[in-house]
Structure 1
Amino acid sequence: MVNLKVWEKLRNQFTAKKVTLIAVSKTKPASDIQELYNAGQRDFGENYVQELTEKYAALPKDINWHFIGHLQSNKAKYIAPFVHLIHGIDNARLLQEIDKQAAKNNRVIDVLLQYYIAREETKYGMSMAEITEVVKHKADLPNIRICGLMGMASNTDDMAQVRGEFRSLDSFFVLLKMEYFVDHPEFSKCSMGMSGDYEIAIEQGSNMVRIGSLLFGGRTYAK
């Protein structure tokens, strides 16, 4: 069940702050996505490749599909023809594979590099040194466009910790922009924040937020 009142409130709030709202529609039926699309939403996020490809085939083609989950290199080929933005680039090998698949589809694919900011082993991401190394060699990947950074804070009730983690991502984003992307306006996306912490994320510099449960309710997983 889509909560259109919450969506409208968030859309107005985010538009005023120039923040992109990504509706995280994983495990939700195409009918829910269509309802939100009819209201005006165009950016949707999915975590699973098969689910994303099925929804892409079934829904309007002007949807901006964001892949926000952990992407395995051998599955990049399935979303390369149409994906709008890949958020979670967490290693250099994956970036090389996406570049290869983008070339096969005569595309330049927009990506975000995932910076590891959480104090959790279950989270993915690259270190500051690893991201810097990738950025230094970005010219070797002509079918990739690095558009910014993405990060996920620790799953904790300690909002001071979350705030600090988001602050570290924003600081690194600004540093990279100044050092390597000063003449690249496409490097403009700082993606952090979800339903439980988006207000803190925006406060700390996020301009792209992933909202799922506030819009669609709880997740429905197969047993």
Structure 2
Amino acid sequence: MDIKENYNNIKKQLPNEVQLVAVSKTHPVSAIQEVYSLGQKVFGENKVQELMEKYPLLPKDIQWHLIGHLQTNKVKYIAEFIDTIQSVDSEKLLIEINKEAVKYKRKIKVLLQVKIAVEESKFGFEISEAQDIFQKYINGDFSNIEITGLMGMATFTEDEEQVKKEFLKLKNVFNELNQLKKLDTLSMGMSDDFPIAIECGANSVRVGSAIFGRRDYTK
């Protein structure tokens, strides 16, 4: 496995307007540094503890995205430096992010994670909940948060039509909210399904194993 070759292969497949979030969870600082040296600036981590260990050891112009489920009591550890929290799945979490952002006199970018998969294990707002939260945001709630878009994960299945249907569902929600207030980011698609996600309108994809190789899940 050659990280440089993998990275360049992924980049060739992405239209210029599609952001690549290189998912570096469970991978060492040396591998992240290698991908960074190829020009990649946006990296995604799943766990706050792992991100906190890596952050001091890597260049400060990296834009860190938290893409895993985030507990409210962990927000304080990343609020000072996180670029985007993609996995906002409750109003309680939004309130906590806003509170911590105020302490650092900054706005934290977030994506609302919408549940589009049939799997019960997936986190996310129901569509109606996301609509209600976005309306509160438009009305002036969460003053130190910038909702820049939506994130979703499709069902883990080989049925491409099912995956496509779920991605298109999220794209429709994105279009609807975008009419109310402009959104920038529709984050859909991972290593196995990002081409379908782009076809369905994603402009940000989260790719890990296709760049770094399969993860060590014992960590």
How far apart, CA to CA, are the structure 1 residues paired with 2:101 and 2:2? 34
Look up the match of 2:192.
196
CA RMSD of aligned residues (A): 1.1
Look up the match of 2:7.
7
Look up the match of 1:145.
146
TM-score in terms of structure 2 length: 0.96
- Could you tell me which amino acid in structure 2 is paired with residue 23 of structure 1? A
Unaligned 5+ runs, structure 2: none
How far apart, CA to CA, are the structure 1 residues paired with 2:44 and 2:127? 25
Answer yes or no: is the 8 Å Cα contact 2:63–2:82 preserved in 1.
yes
**Secondary structure, counterpart of 2:111 in structure 1:** strand
How far apart, CA to CA, are the structure 1 residues paired with 2:63 and 2:32? 12
Q: How does 1:113-192 map to 2 (within 5 A)?
A: 113-138=112-137, 139-178=140-179, 180-181=180-181, 184=182, 187-192=183-188
- Could you tell me which amino acid in structure 1 is paired with residue 153 of structure 2? M
Unaligned 5+ runs, structure 1: none
Say if 1:96 and 1:2 are closer, same or farther in 2 by CA, change over 3 A: farther
Runs of 4+, deviation exceeding 2 Å: none
Note the alpha carbon deviations across 1:77-100, whole angstroms, 9 max, x for none. 101000011001111110000000
Note the alpha carbon deviations across 1:166-209, whole angstroms, 9 max, x for none. 0000011001101x20xx4xx11000000000000000000000
For the pair 1:212 / 2:213, whether they are aligned, the reply is no
Shift of 1:21: 0.5
TM-score in terms of structure 1 length: 0.94
How far apart, CA to CA, are the structure 2 residues paired with 1:18 and 1:206? 10
Shift of 1:17: 4.0
Shift of 1:128: 1.3
- Could you tell me which amino acid in structure 1 is paired with residue 96 of structure 2? E
Look up the match of 2:17.
18
How far apart, CA to CA, are the structure 2 residues paired with 1:11 and 1:219? 20
- Could you tell me which amino acid in structure 1 is paired with residue 200 of structure 2? Q
Answer yes or no: is the 8 Å Cα contact 1:67–1:83 preserved in 2.
yes
Q: How does 1:38-117 map to 2 (within 5 A)?
A: 38-117=37-116
Paired residues in the alignment total: 217
